[in-house]
Amino acid sequence: MTVILFNKPYDVLPQFTDDQGRPTLADYLAIPAVRPAGRLDRDSEGLLLLTDDGALQHRISHPRHKLPKTYWVQVEGVPDEAALEQLRQGVTLGDGPTAPAQARLMAAPELWPRDPPIRYRAAIPTGWIELVISEGRNRQVRRMTAAVGHPTLRLVRWAIGPYTLAGLAPGQWRELAQHEYATLVKEGKHGNLETPRHRGQRAGAGRKVPPGGGRGRRPRSV
């Protein structure tokens, strides 16, 4: 069993093929058989988990298992405590009310520049929210911040359960080590899950994987 942590760049589709020639995961990952566990929109950035285990893929992505996902969200305007409390209590969207979330203001994080950058408007300040949810509705975070009057400008998923982007630049990935699987099982409430043999940690980086693989990658194509 393989589980990959990947820092998905902006404008990359969370899939391996595209008939329109847009950037996909295949431009960064040359690991056979892994598939995304959950999604991350093309216009969002950050942590995406991939695995070659179908049961684990379902367990990670299904909201029933309540694996928390942490987002760093740059929004239009600076939310006040009332707006944050709405997010904490749950807001009503077109497909029903959301579950309560964790929400707090945060200082602007030290992130890589986005390409292209967000639109800058001198007359309208921006703020950053750390938002933790356990659901996975379509464009949920963007709809939640809009519902409280603060449209999302930039969206970065920093963490899924206990796993974060720490040490991963955009386009880079690493494979979970043996001891990290136990935490995944506990956080995701997955029940019994066979612990894989130790695979070590591998890291990969860069665009357009060559046919023979690259540094930190297995020498096979997707």
Same domain? 19 vs 127: no
- Contact between 211 and 30 (Cβ < 8 Å): no
In a domain, 32, yes or no: yes
95 is catalytic: no
Statement to judge: residues 156 and 166 lie in one domain: no
* Residue 58 within any structural domain of the chain: yes
On whether the pTM is more than 0.85, the answer is: no
Give the pLDDT confidence score for residue 135 in this predicted structure. 87
Asked if residue 166 and residue 60 are part of one domain, the reply reads yes
Catalytic residue among 18, 41, 95, 115: 41
Domain contains 200? yes
* 86 and 195 belong to one structural domain: no
State the residue range of the domain holding 40.
3-64+162-204
Is the pLDDT at 205 greater than 90? The verdict is no
Task: Let me know whether 72 and 148 are in one domain.
Answer: yes
Matching residue, tokens 């297995």 = 218
Query: pLDDT, tens digit, for every residue of 25-61?
Result: 999 999 889 999 988 999 999 999 999 988 888 777 7
pLDDT of residue 207: 42
pLDDT of the residue at 222: 26
Alpha carbon distance 41, 13 (integer Å): 7
Q: Mark whether 114 and 137 lie in a shared domain.
A: yes
Residue 174 placed within a domain: yes
CATH of the domain at 89: 3.30.70.1560
Q: Of 145, 160, 175, which one is at a domain's C-terminal end?
A: 160
Structure confidence by residue, pLDDT tens digits, 104-146: 999 999 999 998 999 888 788 999 999 999 888 889 999 999 9
Furthest CA-CA distance within the chain: 55
Number of domains in the chain: 2
Instruction: Give the 3-state secondary structure of residue 101.
Output: coil
Closest among 142, 9, 140, 165 to 74, alpha carbons compared: 142
